[in-house]
Amino acid sequence: MKYLQKLGKALMLPVSVMPICALLMGIGYLLCPAAMQGGDISGVGASIGYFLIKAGGALIDHIALLFAIGVGLGMSEKNDGIGALAGLVAWLMITTLLNVNTVKTLIPDVAEDSNRVLAFEKIENPFIGILSGIIGSICFNRFHKTKLPDWLAFFSGKRAVAIFAGLFSVVVSFALLLIWPLIFSGLVVVGKGIEQMGPAGAGLYAFLNRLLIPFGLHHALNNVFWFDTIGLGDLSHFWAGHITGDPGVTWSLGMYMSGFFPCMMFGVPAAALAMIHSAKPERRKAAIGILLSSAICSFVCGVTEPFEFSFMFLSPVLYGIYALMYGLMTVLTVITGFRAGFCFSAGLTDLIFSASLPAAAKTWLILPLGALSFALFFGVFRLAINKWNLKTPGREDEETVSLQENVQVTEHTGGKYAAMAQTIIRGLGGADNITSIDNCITRLRLEIKDMGKVDESIIRSSGAAGVIRPGKNAMQVVIGTTVQFVADEMKNMAGKAAAGIMPAAENTGGEKEAAYFPGSHPKVTITDLIFDTPDHPENGIHAPAAGELISMEEIPDPVFSQGVLGECAGIMPDNGKVYAPVSGTVSTVIDTGHAVSLTGNGEEILVHAGLDTVKMNGEGFRVYVKEGEAVSQGQLIMEMDPELIRKRGFSPMIIVARVGKTEN
């Protein structure tokens, strides 16, 4: 399962180029309708349009080759480009050796069997592309450190990878020479069986597509129906400008994509609204923070994972109903004649760009179909959640930590991602408890040594939309489309831990407090500078509170003491009042009220009240500012209860961290 999930993530790289296909070809068909309607292509506008159509088609027509390269890269250790080269070598070797003319020469009897001929005529397909990428990555992972005898030393190491990939491809090609017609026939039976079911078959496909998402296995199904693996290719034919009845298009073109549009554009936002309405009043704000952004993401670009993973493991029954509604709406969509296609996913952008393609039909029906989808998803979700008391965001059991709002992204967010990564690592039991860190388009994919050390409530407090345990030592944390930045920060922190730059694991807040000796450090007030700012000599960084000044090295938290977030200083406060250390703008207010980030003096400054106080979930904290608000140095920005913090076993030490430069 872990391997298949990694494969699914690797496929996201070549798939990510497809929006540019939609953009180029959508504009191209608008400028050059003759490319699909026939007639002369003349004039500057038409010529430009034809040029753009061919540019987009260059990628769509070679998606299998992109799969070979993308999987070779994505499945290789450290995403090394040599794996991509090896995948290309495997692709060229297999497709050449299994070319129908080559096969007819080797096995003349093949020419007498039309099914076997068709199988080898379709050898340049996404399935073979994926297989080639797998061969390339396996060869890289196994042989990139190979040492050959001195007389062959030039071919040692990474240079050996492509050689081994070629040799393995010869063996695989020989095996495929015998079994590929059987595999191809099996895929044809499945695909044609669903195709012959008409609208019901399209609905069954959509249902299975959603149902397989938690396991990452929907990609295999998509390759049968979207790309020309077995002679279907709903997506590739749609964007090639074909129409139903053209050679090779025996089904109603677009039927395996169209049903996703009303579901993703209107159904998902409706289901999110039903969840918000059904959330407990005290948790509704947090639910809005998770679900609103997910709904917008689904409507605009068809990315549904942040929404789906927010509830699929909380309420599997509801997720099954959700998948079933996709199937029902797809059946209705196919019957009504609405046809649209996507290159990336079924959001507004792809709907707009596909509307000018020849296979597009009755796109205006998205409005009534969308209204029906909205009513269906909202009504069913609201009824099911309340009738069966299903768990969704904002309705967890009382012992579960309340959901946190997603961290809002601004242009100066380096510190936000670092803070989020820090909290997730803490919730995972420290960097030394993490075996591997990877990510797909919306999720962190992690391997954990000891699941007993994981605290999901801490992970969720980072702003993560969900936590999933798909395997014995596997974890996934749903972040959203900014997951790459969080993953990079986590890898950076974990790398420092592995190198011994910072301790891999952390102590509890109570143990940190015990290391502090009152009266052993210099006293400061909010008028005292604790940092100079060379770029702004007239303005320094002041103490955020009155108390004892603690040097960075003495802060009993390795994330701060080792400068992971930047240069730091600590204040053991005399009271609970916390002030702005600089004049500037509030860029982030953490939902739990224990941290505020400011931009001023040309840099971002984090004020973090207490150590590990994220675990208090806002108890004992009160914030007086909001994001985007201008503040002056010395202005009161928050209050905390130091005694309550100590009673909970944490330290009230205030940290000031210079997390990064900002543009002036």
Q: pLDDT tens digit string along 501-537?
A: 444 444 444 444 434 556 667 888 988 888 876 555 5
Query: Could you tell me if residue 408 is inside a domain?
Result: no
444 and 494 co-located in one domain: yes
pLDDT value of residue 500: 47
Domain that holds residue 523: 513-661
pLDDT value at 232 more than 50: yes
Catalytic residue among 144, 412, 542, 608: 608
Structure tokens at 610: 């207490």
User: What crossing angle do the helices spanning 18-31 and 44-60 adopt, rounded to 10°?
Assistant: 150
Structure tokens at 230: 């077995």
23 and 140 co-located in one domain: yes
Mean pLDDT is lowest, of 220-234, 384-398, 568-582, for: 220-234
Domain count, the chain: 4
Q: Which residues pair with 549 in a beta bridge?
A: 571
Catalytic residue among 32, 440, 542, 568: 440
295 and 393 co-located in one domain: yes
Q: Regarding predicted confidence, which is higher, 113 or 89? A: 89
Q: Do 601 and 533 form a contact (C-beta atoms < 8 A)?
A: yes
pLDDT value at 664 more than 50: no
Out of 490, 506, 522, a domain closes at: 506
pTM score of the predicted model = 0.48
Structure tokens at 188: 């044809």
Structure tokens at 367: 């409005």
529 and 423 co-located in one domain: no
Q: Do 60 and 15 form a contact (C-beta atoms < 8 A)?
A: no
Q: Regarding predicted confidence, which is higher, 31 or 330? A: 330
Out of 374, 403, 432, a domain closes at: 403
pLDDT value of residue 76: 86
Q: Do 566 and 632 form a contact (C-beta atoms < 8 A)?
A: no
635 and 542 co-located in one domain: yes
pLDDT value of residue 587: 84
Model confidence at 137, pLDDT cuts 50, 70, 90, reads: very high
pLDDT value of residue 26: 67
Active site residue 440: yes
451: CATH = 3.30.1360.60
| Torsion sign across C-alpha atoms 59, 116, 252, 199 | negative
501 and 534 co-located in one domain: no
12 and 117 co-located in one domain: yes
The alpha helices in 199-304, defined as continuous H runs, are 199-211, 218-226, 234-239, 260-262, 268-278, 284-301
DSSP secondary-structure letter at 339?
B
**What b/e string do you get for 204-231 counting C-beta neighbours within 10 Å, with b at 16 or more?**
bbbbbbbbbbbebbbbbbbbbbbbbbbb
299 and 445 co-located in one domain: no
